[in-house]
Chains A and B, each alone.
Chain A
Amino acid sequence: MVTAVTSMGRSGLYDWLMQRVTAVILLAYFLLLGWVIIGGVDYVSWKALYSQTWMRVFSLLALLSLGMHAWVGLWAVFSDYMTERLMGTTGNVLRFLAQVVCAIIMFTYVVWGIQILWGF
């Protein structure tokens, strides 16, 4: 059995619920973005939208949701295919390395996003 030490909330039920909560937040955010972009944007209206506090808060919420959602999702994928059963000890090492790489990428996305949202 793969222990829950690298999962999001150390509990399958918690991860299951957070995966759905973050999914709905992300869906709402991308639907909003799609609606705005299809309606047509220029620099002035785009900047005005992202200058508003609610849009920055919603964007950061979406970004943090993405972090959790990707962590739970990638954990599920890695812990299915990079396993001791399939690869021996290599599986455990590979899975851990993959998770570290993903964590660093995700952390970069979050910090980068904060810099964009509050830096322009």
Chain B
Amino acid sequence: MRLPITAWTSIAHRASGVFLFAGVGVLIWMLDESLAGPESFAALQECLSSVVFKLVIWAVMAGLIYHSVAGVKHLIMDIGIGETMEGGTRGAQIVIGLSAVLILLAGVWIW
């Protein structure tokens, strides 16, 4: 599909939001395990060393990072910055670039 870059960042903002609705379930489960006791805290740490779980965490963090960066862009536009056609395109490029860097850093941190 040929869509402007602003459409892609908007669709991704929605998709990441829907994804996070499920992802938050994982985060709440982790909070539960981490606080239930020293044994389950250690078990969670053990769990976090598996590749599959690292990928799940990375995916949730990626969703969180992208959704946050795109959300902050919305707030900036609400103030009245970058509301022009060029501003919108530039904003979308910054959102993609910045979240790509942050998601990569998150991946490095997880591994």
Contact with A along B2-29 (1 / 0, CB 8 A): 0000000000001001100100110010
Does B71 sit within 8 A of A, measured CB to CB? yes
- Asked whether A43 and B31 contact (CB < 8 A) given A27-B68, A70-B21, A77-B14, the answer is no
Contacts of B1 in A (CB 8 A): none
Chain B: which residue is nearest A27 at the CB level? B68
Using Cβ atoms and an 8 Å threshold, which residues of chain B touch A74?
17-18, 21
Shortest CB distance B61–A (Å)? 9
- A58 interface residue per 8 A CB criterion: no
- Complex CA gap A12/B10 in Å reads 19
Q: How distant is B8 from chain A, measured CB to nearest CB, in Å? A: 16
Q: Contact size class for B?
A: 20 to 34
Contact between A120 and B21 (Cβ–Cβ < 8 Å)?
Answer: no
Cα A77 to Cα B21 in complex, Å, equals 13
Describe B's contact surface by its main secondary structure.
Answer: helix
Query: How far is it, in angstroms, between the C-alpha of A23 and the C-alpha of B17 when the chains are bound?
Result: 12
A102 to B75, CA, bound (A): 26
Given contacts A46-B35, A77-B18, A120-B35, contact A66 B24 (CB under 8 A): yes
With a cutoff of 8 Å between Cβ atoms, the chain B residues found around residue A50 in the complex are: 35
Known: A74-B18, A77-B18, A109-B28. A20 touches B35 (CB 8 A): no
CA distance A120 to B38 in the complex (A): 11
- Residues of A contacting B25 with CB < 8 Å? 105, 109
Residues of B in contact with A (beta carbons under 8 Å apart):
14, 17-18, 21, 24-25, 28, 31-32, 34-38, 41-42, 64, 68, 71-72, 74-75, 78, 109
